[in-house]
Amino acid sequence: MAVPGMPIGSPGMEAPDGRRDPYDVLAFDKRGRTRVFAHHT
Non-local (6+) Cβ contacts of 26 within 8 A are: 1, 2, 3, 4, 34, 35, 36, 37
Q: Read off the DSSP letter of residue 4.
A: T
Q: What is the pLDDT of residues 10-30, one digit of tens each?
A: 888 999 998 999 999 999 999
pLDDT at 5 over 90: no
CB 26 within 8 A of CB 39: no
CB-side neighbour CA atoms (13 Å) of 10: 15
pLDDT at 1 over 90: no
pLDDT at 31 over 90: yes
pLDDT at 6 over 90: no
Q: What is the pLDDT of residue 33?
A: 97
Q: Read off the DSSP letter of residue 24.
A: E
Q: What is the pLDDT of residue 11?
A: 86
Cα radius of gyration (the chain): 12
